[in-house]
Amino acid sequence: MNKVDFLRRLDKELSVLDKEERKELLDFYEERFHSGKIYENKTEQEIISELESPQMIAKNILAEYGVSPKFVKTKEERYQGIDSSNLIVLILFDLFVATWLIPSLFSVAFAILASLLSYVGVLPLIIGTHSQMDTYFFFVLSGAYFLLFVFGLIVLDFSIYISKKILMWHLNVFKFKNREKLFKRLNRLSIDGWFKKHRLLNTVKNFATIGSFVVIGWAGFLMLNSDSNYIDEMLNKPQQTMEYTEDLALDITDGDIWNITTDFENMVVEVRTTTDSEMKVVHTFSTEEDDFTISLDPATNTLAISNDYENRFVWNIKDILSEIFNLNKVIIYVPEGLEVNLLDISSANGELDIKGIDVEELQAITLNGTVTIKNVNVIENMIIETLNGRVILEDVTGTKSIDVSTSNGMIHFQTVSFQNYTLDTSNGAIYLKNVYIANVDADTSNGDITFLNDNQTFEVDSFKSDTSNGSVETNVR
C-alpha cells in the first residue's frame, strides 16, 4: 500500500461525512506524509507502518464525531426518515431514566464540591494554640479534602459525559443536519480535557493528588507512632457529669405550662419522663473545655439549654473526636404531671431521642443525626428536620399535623396517628405501618413509598405520593 491507496481507503471509510470534513481530514494525513518525507527522510511505507490502518483511523474519527457507519450509511439516511422504534425507545428512556439520572448525577457532583466549603472548619486546627496532634490531624484532613475535590471533579466529568451521550443520541434519532460538527465540539467538552489543555494546572493537580496520599499516610503514621494510645485514652477516659435539678412540685400543682428549648452544636439529646417532681438535666461530657449553660426564666416558665461555640475559634482533636463518637450527651428528665407547651430540641450534630412525654407542640431539628420519637402525645403540631439521618416514630399520637423533612435518610412510622402528614426525603424510603391519617403528602426522589395497615384496606381523604426512582405500595383507597 502506498500513500495514494492509503488516502483513497481512508476517504472511503469516511464517506458518511461531508466532503468538506473529509477534505480537512485527508489534508491532515497528506501533510503527515509530506513532513515525514521532507523532514524525517522516511519512505511512504515507513510512514504507513507508523500510522494505524485507514479502517481504525476512520473508526476513531467517527467515534469522535459521534457517527456510527452502521447507523448512518448515506447522507439521505442520515438526515431523513426518523425511525419510529428508535423514537419510542428514546421517549421511554427520557421518561423513566433521563428525568432522574441527569439531575441526580449533577446533584451528587455539586453536593461533593459544595461540601469542600466546610474546609474552613479545619483551618482552626493550626491557628492559635494547638498541639502537635492537631497539626497531624490538619494534614490528614487537608489531604482528604483535596482527594474529595478530585473525586468531585471525576463525578462532574462523568455527569457531563453521560449528558453528552444522551444529547448525541437525541440528535441522531431526530437526524438533525450538520450534527457531526456539534458532536465534535461536544466531545471536546470535559473537565479532564480542560486540564489537559492547561498543562501546568494538570501537572499541579496530578502532583497534588499523589501528594495528598503521601501526606495522609505520613501524618497518619506520625499520629499512631507519636502517641499510639491517644484515641483509646480519649475514648476510654472517664467522662465528667454535671447535674441540674429544679423542684417543680408547686408548678405541677398550680398547672403552670412550661417551655423547654435546646440549642446545641454537638450533643446527643434525650428527653425522658420521671415520676419525681423534680426536673433534672444530666450533662455528660468528655472535653476539658465546656460551654454548657442552663437558663431558667421564671416569668415565662422557660428552660433553655445550650452550649455556646460561637466564641470558640480554636478546634483541637479532642473536640473533633467528641463530635465523631458522640461523647457529649444531655438527658432531660421531665416530671410526668408537668404541662409542656413547647418542646423545641435542636442539635446540629447529634441524635435526638424523645420518649414518653405529652406536649402541646414539638420540634426536633438536627443536621446530622437520627430522630427517634416513641410513646409521645402531641396535642397540636410536630415538626421534624434532619439533613443526614433517619426519622423513626412509634406509638405517637397527635390531633393536627406532622411535617417531616430529611435529605439523606428513611422515614419510618409505626402506629402513628395525625390528621395531616407532609413527608419529604431526597434519598430514602418512606415506610408507614398502622398509621391512621386523613391527608398525606409523601415525596421521595430515590426510595420506595410503603403504606400498610395490617393488610386491611383503609380510607383517607387525600393521598399524594411521588417517587422519582422507587415503587409505591399501599392499601389506601
| Mean pLDDT (whole number) for 299-303 | 90
Give, in order, the Cα–Cα distances in Å from 223 to each of 95, 131, 217, 231.
52, 12, 10, 10
Residue 65 reports pLDDT greater than 90: no
The alpha carbon torsion through 403, 407, 408, 410 (nearest 10 deg) reads 20
Question: What is the distance between the alpha carbons of residues 166 and 177, in angstroms, rounded to a whole number?
Answer: 17
Helices marked H in 255-291: none
- Please check the confidence at residue 71 and state whether its pLDDT lies above 50: no
In this structure, the answer to whether residues 246 and 295 fall within a common structural domain is yes
| Backbone phi, psi, residue 17, to 5° | -90, 160
Distance CA(115)–CA(149), nearest Å, equals 9
Cell of 169: 443520541
- Structural domain contains residue 105: yes
Summarize the confidence of residues 242-257 as an average pLDDT: 85
Task: For residue 113, count other CB atoms closer than 10 A to its CB.
Answer: 16
Nearest CA to 434 out of 378, 377, 374, 394 is that of 394
The domain boundary residue, chosen from 228, 247, 267: 228
- Whether residue 76 is predicted with pLDDT greater than 60 in this model: the reply is no
> What value does the mean pLDDT take over residues 70-96?
72
Residues 37 and 153 in one domain: no
For residue 465, the cross-strand partners are: 442
In this prediction, residue 269 carries a pLDDT of: 92
Where residue 298 falls among pLDDT bands split at 50, 70, 90?
confident
**Boundaries of domain holding 38:** 3-73
pLDDT band, residue 235 (cuts 50/70/90): low
* 383 and 451 assigned to the same domain: yes
Model confidence at 315: pLDDT above 50: no
Q: Would 156 be classed as within a structural domain?
A: yes
pLDDT surpassing 50 at residue 216: yes
Of residues 241 and 147, the one with the higher pLDDT is 147
What is the pLDDT of the chain when averaged over all its residues? 82
CATH of the domain at 330: 2.160.20.120
Which phi and psi (to 5°) does residue 253 adopt?
A: -65, -45
C-alpha closest to that of 349 among 377, 334, 370, 380: 370
Of the ranges 134-138, 144-148, 279-283, 328-332, which one carries the lowest mean pLDDT score? 134-138
What pLDDT, on a 0 to 100 scale, did the predictor assign at position 124?
76
**C-alpha cell at position 336:** 410526668
441526580: which residue's cell?
104
Residue for cell digits 466532503?
A: 19
pLDDT at 453: 77
Question: What per-residue confidence (pLDDT) applies to 226?
Answer: 66
**8-state DSSP, 261:** E
Q: Residues in the chain, how many?
A: 477
- Look at residue 196 and give its three-state secondary structure: helix
User: Is residue 345, in this structure, part of any structural domain at all?
Assistant: yes
Q: Given pLDDT bands bounded at 50, 70 and 90, which one contains residue 375? A: very high
Same domain, 186 and 270: no
Last residue of a domain, one of 17, 51, 73: 73
Mean pLDDT, rounded, for 357-367: 93
172 and 317 in a single domain? The answer is: no
Question: Are 222 and 315 within one domain?
Answer: no
For the chain, the 3-state helix, strand and coil shares in percent, each to the nearest 5, are 45, 30, 25
Better-predicted residue by pLDDT, 470 or 300: 300
The stretch 44-73 carries a mean pLDDT of: 76
Per residue, what are the HEC states of 55-73?
A: HHHHHHHHHHHCCCCCCCC
Q: CA 219, 223, 226: angle at the middle one, nearest 5? A: 125
**Final residue before a domain boundary, out of 172, 193, 228:** 228
Nearest to 397, CA basis, from 373, 422, 377, 380 = 377
Tell me the pLDDT tens digit for each residue of 253-269: 888 899 999 988 778 89
Looking at the fold, whether 178 and 266 belong to one and the same domain comes out as no
In contact, 139 and 123? CB cutoff 8 Å: no
∠ CA(122), CA(150), CA(125), 5° rounding?
10
Claim to verify: residue 142 and residue 20 sit in the same structural domain: no
Asked if residue 79 belongs to a domain, the reply is: no
Helix residue spans in 248-368 (DSSP H): 249-254, 317-324
- Evaluate whether residue 337 is within a structural domain: yes
Indicate whether 78 belongs to any domain: no
State the pLDDT at residue 359: 95
Residue 288 burial (10 A CB sphere; 0-12, 13-18, 19+): exposed
Residue 279 CA to chain centroid, in angstroms?
Answer: 39
Please indicate whether residue 97 or residue 79 has the higher confidence score (pLDDT). Answer: 97
Is 12 inside a domain boundary? yes
Confidence of residue 182 (pLDDT cuts 50, 70, 90): confident
More confident residue, 108 or 456: 108
464/48: higher pLDDT: 48
Distance (Å, whole) CA 474 – CA 471: 10
The total of structural domains in the chain comes to 3
* Whether residues 376 and 287 fall in one domain: yes
- The pLDDT tens digits for 111-146 are 889 888 878 877 877 887 777 777 888 899 899 999
Say which residues have a Cβ less than 8 Å from residue 245's Cβ, sequence separation at least 6. Answer: 278, 279, 280, 281
- Sole residue written with cell 430529611: 406
Q: Distance between alpha carbon 274 and the CA centroid of its chain, in Å?
A: 39
pLDDT tens digits for range 149-169: 999 999 999 999 999 989 988
Q: What is the 3-state secondary structure (H, E, C) of 72-129?
A: CCCHHHHHCCCCHHHHHHHHHHHHHHHHHHHHHHHHHHHHHHHHHHHHHHCHHHHCCC
Examine the domain organization and report whether 100 and 209 are in the same domain.
yes
* pTM to 2 decimal places: 0.56
User: Quick check: is 266 in a domain?
Assistant: yes
